[in-house]
Each structure stands twice: as structure tokens, then as C-alpha cells.
Amino acid sequence: MKIAIACHPTFGGSGVVASELGMELAKRDHDVHFVSYQPPFRVDQHHDRVHVHEVEVTSYPLFKYPPYALALATKLMEVVRANDVHLLHAHYAIPHSISALLARQMCRDCNLRVITTLHGTDITLVGADHSFYEVTRYGIEESDAVTAVSDDLAAETRREFGIEKPIHVVPNFIDPDVYSPTRRNEALRQSYVTGDEALMIHVSNFRPVKRPIDVVRIFSLVAKDVPARLLMVGTGPELAAAKEEAARLEVCDRVIFAGAVVGVAELLASSDLLLLPSDSESFGLAALEAMACGTPVVGTCTGGLPEVVEDGASGALEPVGDVQAMAMRAVEILGNQQLLRQMGEAARQRAVTKFPASRVVEQYVQIYEEVLATRD
């Protein structure tokens, strides 16, 4: 197959999933063309079947907001024509599904098919906003197939947008060899902790929806009972506020702000517990990556997260904002080495049996084949 993938290239779950999917497809001998305004950060451009096409947006004094969606549609159309692509896979509804639909319309003779994958905030925050609601709905209705990353997100999409067409649930996935407990690195761990201290970790794009301030609050409560350090990985709009909270709670000396890190498997495998107290989380890729590394998760029972983390088995889930409850659960787990080990093993087991790339990529391939079979 020849597939063009439109995605956000920066740090964030939808771009990661799109990149990993494209590379997995290339390994299976499909030709994959990534189309975005810069190379997606996890894409390995050295693979023969992986191609990256950058969208250039001309700015003009008349444009207060340069129309990226139109430039993307034009680039998609060029890529389709030059490479005999039959399938456009849009990750994140806005603007990608709209640009893909426009490209399909602009080159009718190519008989293109469009698949849209919904990732979360494209439905729960961006799409739900009045300014994007109707166009998001249009993107979903007009796509040849739609996937969502969890049952919860599929249900939310049907409810919020009154969608009746089928939405395929295709979860996020991991490569069990890359995200593995074998990536634990004692020297790396010892560069953050001293002696028997526990290492807690948070990985995100520090958007308000991730509640990084709650992460610091949970940690400061845990640290009263368990000697521990917190590793904050990533960057984003709430980074400064999270640092201020660490200062206010006088835990600065035990919180490490590592900034953006490209490969997080070693850090996850070298940590004891991931904190993910998000406001909403359609799936929680960071949780899955931690689990695959044998690191249990303490987070919120929100969105699709309970489909990933089994409360009491591979981690602990509590209501959004209940930092006390999440801290208590974290203390329980970290304070009991046997429980910590059991949960880590259960987490790894769940990740590799339910969410391995081998299984999930096949689900996408099957949808591609079904959709392509409808071409005249």
C-alpha cells in the first residue's frame, strides 16, 4: 500500500502514534509519506520506505493567520499525484481530516480514501469548542473510515457530535522490545536518587489538561512518608507554574525538571511509578509506555485511562483533582516492595498482551484494506 499520513509533528501523543504507525507500516513493506510542517520528531527518516514532505506556508500581510490547512491540502495532493498514493490517514481531526478531504476532492480522478483517527482533545477540547464543532463533525462524517483510540473516546464522539456511523476502536500501542523493563539503567537511576529513595516520574507536554501542578502536589505529599524524588519530563505551557508549585511546597531540591527528552523508555524503566493525574485522557500513551517498562501508574479514573490501567492491578486510579487519594495510593505502592513488584509485572503483562504493535498495526491494516476495497 502507499499511504500518506498527516499529523502534528511536535511532542504529543497523536504525533507519536502517527509516527510509530508509519514506521511499523514501512517495516511491513508499505510506502509511507509523512506530510507535516516539519519532520515528526520520532520518525526515522533513514528507512527506504519512509518519506517526509514538509508543508511550507507562505505568509502574506493580508493573512493574520496563514491558512496552514490549505497549504497542507495542496501538499497532500502533490504527494498523492507524485507517488501514486491511494490512502490518506489523518491523525487528529483538526485540521488534518479537513485538509485530507479537500485533497480527496481536488484530485477526484485519484479515487482517494480518507481515514481519520481521533486522538482525544480533537474531540474533547478543540472539537467541542464552538469555533471548530461543525467542521470537526464534517471531518468525521465525510471520512471513509474513522477510528478512535479508546471505547470511551468513540462513545464521547457519538454523544458529542451525534455520529451514527461506525467508529473503529484502535488503541495506542507499544513496541514491547523498546518499552521494556530490560531498559532499566541503574547508573541513570542513581543520577537522580540517592540510596533507597523511590523515583517517581511524570512525562507530558505540560498542557493544563495534564495537571502537572497536581503532579507536584501529589509528590510533596508522598515525600512526607516515603523518601523519594520526582522526575518531570517534557515541556509546555504549565512548566513554569509547576516549578513555582515545587518552590511553594519546598520540594525543589527533590524535583528534577529534565525538559523534553526524545527517548523516554530508559527513564520510564528506571523509575518506580508514573504519575498521570490528567483532567481528561482519551487513552494515556504515557501510561502504556510506563506499563510496558514494568512501571505502574497512579492517575485519574478519567476518559479511556481505565481501559489501559486496571485499578488495583497495574496501578491506581482516583478522581480528577483528588491529590490526597492519589498520594495515599502512591505511598501504599511505594511502601510495599512486593506490591510494587507485582504491579510492575502485571503492568508489563497487560501492555504486551493487549497493546503490542504487532496486534494493533494489523487492526489498522485491516481497516485500510476494507476502505481500499471500496475504490471503483
Query: Which residues here bind ligand GMT, judged by CB under 6 A?
Result: 8, 12-14, 17, 92, 119-121, 149, 172, 205, 207, 209, 278, 280-285
d(CA 139, CA 314): 36
Smallest CA-to-CA distance from 349 within 311, 305, 293 is with 293
CB of 156 or CB of 318, closer to ligand GMT: 156
CB of 116 or CB of 172, closer to ligand GMT: 172
d(CA 330, CA 271): 13
Q: Which residues contact 228 (CB under 8 A, 6 or more apart)?
A: 193, 197, 198, 199, 200, 219, 222, 254, 334
Residue for grid cell 519530563: 233
Answer yes or no: are the C-beta atoms of 201 and 233 closer than 8 Å: yes
In the three-class reduction of DSSP (H, G, I as helix; E, B as strand; rest coil), residue 258 is classed as strand
CB of 19 or CB of 205, closer to ligand GMT: 205
CB of 196 to ligand GMT, least distance (A): 33
CB of 239 to ligand GMT, least distance (A): 15
The count of C-alpha atoms lying within 13 angstroms of the C-alpha of 348, restricted to the half-sphere facing its C-beta, is 21
CB of 117 or CB of 220, closer to ligand GMT: 117
CB of 171 to ligand GMT, least distance (A): 9
CB of 8 to ligand GMT, least distance (A): 6
Smallest CA-to-CA distance from 130 within 160, 89, 165, 91 is with 160
CB of 236 or CB of 294, closer to ligand GMT: 236
CB of 55 to ligand GMT, least distance (A): 18
CB of 7 to ligand GMT, least distance (A): 9
Q: Residues 365, 366, 369, 371: is their CA dihedral positive or negative?
A: negative
CB of 17 or CB of 79, closer to ligand GMT: 17
